[in-house]
Amino acid sequence: MAKLKVKFACTDCGTESPKWLGKCPGCGAWNTMVEEKETVVKTQGMGSPLIQTKEKPRPIIHIESGQEPRIETRLQELNRVLGGGVVPGSLILVGGDPGIGKSTLLLQTSHALASKGLKVLYISGEESVRQTRLRADRLGALTDKLYVLCETNMDQVNDAIESVTPDFLVIDSIQTVYDPNVQSAPGSVSQVRECTAHFMRVAKIKGIATVLVGHVTKEGAIAGPRLLEHMVDCVLYFEGERHHSYRLLRAVKNRFGSTNEIGIFEMGESGLREVTNPSELFLSERPLGVSGSTVVASMEGTRPVLVELQALVATTNFPSPRRMSTGIDHNRMALIIAVLEKRMGMFLQTQDAYLNVAGGVKLDEPAVDLAAAVSIASSFRDAPTRPYDVIFGEIGLTGEVRAVARAEQRVKEAQKLGFKRVIMPEKSLKGWSPPTGIEIIGVETVSEALKAALG
């Protein structure tokens, strides 16, 4: 009998080592090397590591080109994030915090596709078929084209795929599925890597659109080796606060579309409801006539979104003031405060500064700089901003306001929601005609913007 070999693998990046190490040599994480038994690789069937094809290399100019066929779901927000719909044969990885609504989203998606006549196989390794039926009753997701199975054994999953021959496959979750030919526990690095590779081969060979649900770590990243994100075609994160009803679906990798789009949903008793106008949602509780509050026009892919920025500047008794930001990069906030101190003469060295994006949205584009600067200055001077102003623009280190992209779409979104004025970069006014009914103020410096916004 052959001697069983033992190796150690990093749970974060998948780096392997013949001996235990306190620090992973691949990603530098501490105490992530776990013991695993040597993997026994299949040599036959769908699990074969090598796919034998008879195709020969061809010049790229001789390969047919064209758009990938897509399957549109009834969830337009999901279609937007995926780039227009689900691509047959694609492998999608969905991650999110426990209880955020991943299973609800995928069950509603499965029902939407099954209602169009497609065969859908929903395999759950965490819930029984009765629990899945109870959720389907609550969501109204009942159709004879939706097949449900509770199984974690890869061999049984293969038999189910062969018998149903689905067009859309959901595995909830990849950490619960195990291959009996791999000598390690379910959820381990070897099992997750081997099972994902197997589903990738199934998706590509049979043309089945496959969705894998992945657990996340306490830092918010998908659990398991980083190799998973390289193997799949699309990586989606389902985000949101437990104490709020809205949810954000964000793509961080997409081989068939843009990674800048977001989908916005609202969780209710009957499942997830699409939010067609997110600006109204994020501005619904905005206070009027208070200092430190401004509205910024941000772009999420091709969609303009109006979001409220709140700032609070308060005197501190400590020698080192605090700088805290939520929804905006902390380093970007420090840069804006430095510009206000150097170019505008604001003495913020004895002031704590807090910056928050209301609604839990994360803004990572430089166009929010000007609105953040106005919010901080408004709170510092205790001077309220006008309630119907929209502000956007990028700030340079010399205090200039730089042009931003898609200014026309931002202005039209502000006009649609009833705002009266827009303070924006002067250079962004070139090449298009502002709409009637809204005042446009072009500024070239931060000083001009503060004078226009705060008087």
Residue list, annotated binding site for ATP: 96-103
Whether 212 contacts 161, CB under 8 Å: no
The CA distances from residue 351 to 209, 342, 358, 360, in Å, are 54, 15, 22, 24
Show the tokens assigned to 19. 């001996």
Distance from chain centroid for Cα 238: 6
Beta bridge partners of 304: 299
Element (H, E) at 328: none
| DSSP code of residue 70 | -
Burial class (CB in 10 A: 0-12, 13-18, 19+), 90: buried
Residue 30 CB: number of other CB atoms within 10 A? Answer: 9
Q: How far apart are CA 244 and CA 287, in angstroms?
A: 18
CA distance 96 to 74: 22
Order the strands of the 389-391 sheet from edge to edge.
323-326, 351-357, 303-315, 293-300, 389-391, 421-425, 439-443
Total residue length of the chain: 455
Binding residues: 96-103
CA distance 400 to 395: 6
Angstrom distance (rounded) from CA 364 to CA 283 = 19
Contact 87, 81 (CB under 8 A): no
In sequence order, the 6+-apart residues with CB closer than 8 A to the CB of 261 are: 80, 81, 83, 251, 300, 301, 302, 303
- DSSP annotation of 252 reads E
Neighbours of 388 (CB within 10 A): 15
CA gap 291, 311 in Å, rounded: 8
Strand order in the sheet with 91-96: 146-150, 120-124, 168-172, 209-214, 91-96, 234-239, 246-254, 262-268, 271-274
